[in-house]
Amino acid sequence: MELIFFYILAGILVTFSILTVTAPNPIRSAVYLISALLSMAGLFFLLEAEFVGAVQVLVYVGGIMVLFLFVIMLVNVREMETQRRASRHWKTAVVLGVVLSSELIFLVVRGADIFSTEGIGSNLIVEAQTRNTESVGSLLYSTYLLPFEIASILLLVAMVGAVVLTMKEK
Amino acid sequence: MNRFVPQMFTEWGTVDLNYSALLPEIILSLTGIMIMLVIPFVPTARHVSLGYPALAGIAVAFLSLVATRATWDQRGEAFFYGMVFQDPFALFLKVLFLFATAALVLIAMNYLDQEDRAQGEFYALLLFATVGMCLMAASADLIMTFLGLEILSISTYVLAGLKERERKSNESAIKYFLLGAFSTAFMLYGIAFVYGATGSTQYLIIAKVIPTSESEPFLLLLALGLMLVGFGFKIALAPFHIWAPDVYEGAPLPVTALLAVGSKAAALVALVRILFQALPALSPEWQVLLWMSAVLTMSIGNIAALTQTNIKRMLAYSSIAHAGYLLLGLTAHNELGTQGILYYLVAYALMTMGAFAVVQIVGGRDEQYIQIEDYRGLGYRHPFLSVTLSVFLISLAGIPATAGFMGKFFLFAAALESELYGLVFLAILASAIGIYYYLKVIVLMYMGDFQEETGTLITIPLSLRIVIAIMVLGTIYLGILPGTLLHLASEAVNF
Amino acid sequence: MIPVTHYLALAAILFVIGTCGVILQRNVLTMFMCIELMLNAVNLTFITFSRFLNQLDGQIFVLFVMTVAAAEAAVGLALIVILSRRADSLDVDQANTMKW
């Protein structure tokens, strides 16, 4: 049952990813990417990461991708549609893609053997199954307190930067 | 081994928050925020003077480092649940970054003075970039390194694009951004595999876990490769350097200096920590990769610099070449190598920052005079600028009695200690090629036909004059008496 | 339970698709979206490892990756907006006032 779900989601994910990459127009790309991100959230749920799955939907789809769509509307899309897509890289990209994925998958599968024998480092909070959000929260405010604080500086820089860049001259 | 408390067993309430380990970062962030709060109340014409509070913040941050030095011992420790180190290595680099930023602020003041619309945010973003660099130098965890790197990168993306009316600046910012984000994805993928293979992202835990796993470390090798790609982009190592010349040319000059000195040094130092502290077990593998990259970087940087006509581009290729020399210290993987890296970073910061300061002054309004041809006859018009630039270029070329020579000497010695004879031979060959294009500029300054009309009056602000003078003295001092700094560097190697 | 390799292979495929997209596409916006796809592949890897190592740290990393992705999106899109104001084109091949 789980496996069927996985294959359905994986199928959707790969299809929409390829569509995102090949779409001739950024609006379509964005919509395909949104679908891909939603099925990614489904995979997160399947992996019992409920909180991250919810954040994926809220932040990625609801925040980042909406921002993308806004910007696409803001810049002149009509003109972009007529622009040619560089087709000279097509074959290279496909060959590269196939070679790279097979290599990566080979390495990953070989490397992931360790998981079949023993679970290393299964020493941290194992109560994940029951109260995911709560455990994520307490971890975020204990071990990962400093990165959490630092992330706020990062967001501040990004906010200031975006404003400074787009501010029009008075 | 009490320098490290296994954080997996840390309970709620175990206090591990040692703010003295983060004082400079906190002070710099607060200064940056304060500058931004003040901006609305400062008339646009006076935005340039916001550099003074920035300098004050840097000074306080430096004093805080000095004041807290006595509170911790030589060995250093990880705080905040194993996220940041407070150790001599981090201290050394934080001091270096603070001095570099102070010089950058002064260069930026001169730059903004000549812009029509000075933006006070420039200083705030510079300070935030420094926070990122300091965090990278002190980081004890891959996730911290990543966040520090992102603070640094995002500030520099913005800074590179700030000169908004100029198309070059915008283009270079976009290129830098896209390639930067692209390389970030690679680095993250690498971090993910490190996490998967070891179950942790803390350097010391990773180092402890790796030897116990008996199977062939496929995942770790994959991780190593991906992370090297990511860092290679940030340090501009060949073959991932192609973005550098364009971005360096298009960005505003103080930002070019920041990219060439700050970003490069911070990424390199983070790589030192990752390779030496977390992945020493994989050293045969990464030594081979770095060996190849070092050879490529040195030769491409030096050979491409030969044909440049724009001094910013020339310095860009030169900084690529210098990253190649620094890789010698990494490839050597011994104590002398780390010392050499630290020594060379100081020397490199002095001479590169100095050269960029002179280029900024000569470049003038809207960077009109940045062709190498514009330096013809500078020796007759501005003895101060040409003498100082000559010192910096001689040092960059690695001619004896300068900091650049001593730095190279230590790096090459470290490589020889690890029996990397071929690499040292190629490095000497590459630096011999390099001498040509540095000397070309000097020759042009003194022996070119003097044309009266090129270059208008150049005024040098007193503050920059002092900074350049200090850098020249530092370059010569380190070249003749390397002992003091070498001693400091040898203490800093204890991490 | 689904073997760990399934998830990792899927993530690898997505990562490569994203990489190819960055190389293939010439539109700055789409290139950026391909980078987002790569970051998502990384997230999937993190979550997978987190699940199979039976520890939560991986999920925390994903939160940080998302934060960074949001910050990058804000700055990157701002840069794209000013590029479009100036250049009327988002084709990277046309951003060539400097030689490569």
CATH number (2.60.40.420, 3.90.850.10, 3.40.50.300, 1.20.120.1200) of A1-108 reads: 1.20.120.1200
C-alpha to C-alpha distance for B479 and B165, rounded to whole angstroms: 42
C-alpha to C-alpha distance for B210 and B212, rounded to whole angstroms: 5
Is B184 an interface residue toward C (CB < 8 Å)? yes
Asked if B33's CB is within 8 angstroms of A156's CB, the reply is: yes
pLDDT value of residue B396: 95
pLDDT value of residue C92: 64
Interface size B-C, in CB pairs within 8 Å, comes to 107
C-alpha to C-alpha distance for B294 and B292, rounded to whole angstroms: 5
Q: What percent of chain A has pLDDT over 70?
A: 77
A138-169: pLDDT as tens digits: 888 888 999 999 999 999 999 999 998 888 65
Please count the other Cβ atoms lying within 10 Å of the Cβ belonging to residue A149.
Answer: 14
pLDDT bucket at C90, cuts 50 / 70 / 90: low
Asked if B158's CB is within 8 angstroms of A157's CB, the reply is: yes
H or E element, residue B435? helix B421-447
pLDDT value of residue B4: 37
Domain positions in chain B: 1-278, 280-495
Asked if B147's CB is within 8 angstroms of C64's CB, the reply is: yes
Read off the pLDDT of each residue in C25-49 and give the average, rounded to a whole number: 92
Q: In the numeric block, which tokens belong to residue B368? A: 């009109």
Helices B335-363 and B264-273 meet at what angle, rounded to 10? 170
From chain B, pick out residues whose CB is under 8 angstroms from the CB of A158: 154
CA angle B116, B121, B125 (to 5 degrees): 130
What residue in B sits closest to C72 (Cα-Cα)? B154
C-alpha to C-alpha distance for B44 and B411, rounded to whole angstroms: 47
What residue in B sits closest to A103 (Cα-Cα)? B222
- Chain C residues in contact with chain B using a Cβ-Cβ cutoff of 8 Å: 8, 15, 18, 22, 28, 31-32, 35, 38-39, 41-42, 45-46, 48-49, 53, 55, 57-58, 60-61, 64-65, 68, 71-72, 75-76, 78-80, 82-83, 86-87, 92, 95-98, 100
Domain positions in chain A: 1-108, 129-170
3-state secondary structure of B371: strand
Measured between alpha carbons, how far is residue B338 from residues B157, B216, B342, B428, B479 in Å?
A: 30, 29, 6, 19, 19
Residue labelled with tokens 């630096």? B431
Q: What pTM, to 2 d.p., does this model score?
A: 0.92
pLDDT value of residue B17: 78
pLDDT value of residue A14: 94
C-alpha to C-alpha distance for A170 and B20, rounded to whole angstroms: 43
Nearest to A22, CA basis, from C91, C29, C25, C10: C25
pLDDT value of residue B11: 43
A60-109: pLDDT as tens digits: 999 999 999 999 888 866 555 545 555 556 677 777 777 777 777 777 77
Decide if B247 contacts B172 (C-beta within 8 A).
Answer: yes
Interface size A-B, in CB pairs within 8 Å, comes to 106
Asked if A93's CB is within 8 angstroms of C24's CB, the reply is: yes
Between A24 and B244, the more confident residue is B244
pLDDT value of residue B297: 95
ipTM: 0.93
Asked if B215's CB is within 8 angstroms of A151's CB, the reply is: no
Asked if B196's CB is within 8 angstroms of A157's CB, the reply is: no
Burial of B420-433, coded b for 16+ CB within 10 Å and e otherwise, reads beebbebbeebbeb
pLDDT value of residue B314: 93
B88-115: pLDDT as tens digits: 999 999 999 999 999 999 999 988 888 7
The dihedrals phi and psi of C27, each to the nearest 5 degrees, come to -90, 130
H or E element, residue B85? strand B84-86
Asked if C53's CB is within 8 angstroms of B192's CB, the reply is: no
Decide if B148 contacts A154 (C-beta within 8 A).
Answer: no
SS3 sequence of chain C: CCCHHHHHHHHHHHHHHHHHHHHHCCEHHHHHHHHHHHHHHHHHHHHHHHHHHCCCHHHHHHHHHHHHHHHHHHHHHHHHHHHHHHHCCCEHHHCCCCCC
Is A29 an interface residue toward C (CB < 8 Å)? yes
Q: Which of C42, C80, C96 sits opposite B192 (nearest CB)?
A: C42
pLDDT value of residue B5: 38
Name the B residues in 185-204 with CB < 8 Å from any C CB: 185, 188-189, 191-193, 195-196, 199-201
Pairing of strands B84-86, B77-79: antiparallel
Q: B81 in the Ramachandran plot: left (φ > 0), alpha (ψ -120 to 50) or beta? A: left
Q: Which of B124, B161, B164 sits opposite A160 (nearest CB)?
A: B124
Measured between alpha carbons, how far is residue B237 from residues A59, B264, B295, B395 in Å?
A: 34, 10, 10, 21
Q: Which of A121, A147, A156 sits opposite B143 (nearest CB)?
A: A147
**A34 CB-side CA count, 13 A:** 16
From chain C, pick out residues whose CB is under 8 angstroms from the CB of A108: 5, 8-9, 12
Is B114 an interface residue toward C (CB < 8 Å)? no
C-alpha to C-alpha distance for B309 and B311, rounded to whole angstroms: 6
3-state secondary structure of A123: coil
| Neighbours, chain B (3 or more CB pairs < 8 A) | A, C
C-alpha to C-alpha distance for B356 and B316, rounded to whole angstroms: 11
From chain B, pick out residues whose CB is under 8 angstroms from the CB of C31: 178
Name the stretches of chain B with pLDDT < 70.
Answer: 1-15, 116-118, 164-165, 212-216, 448-457
**Domains, chain C:** 4-89 (1.10.287.3510)
Decide if B397 contacts B404 (C-beta within 8 A).
Answer: yes
Amino acid at the residue A84: R
From chain A, pick out residues whose CB is under 8 angstroms from the CB of B83: 144, 146-147
Asked if B246's CB is within 8 angstroms of C61's CB, the reply is: no
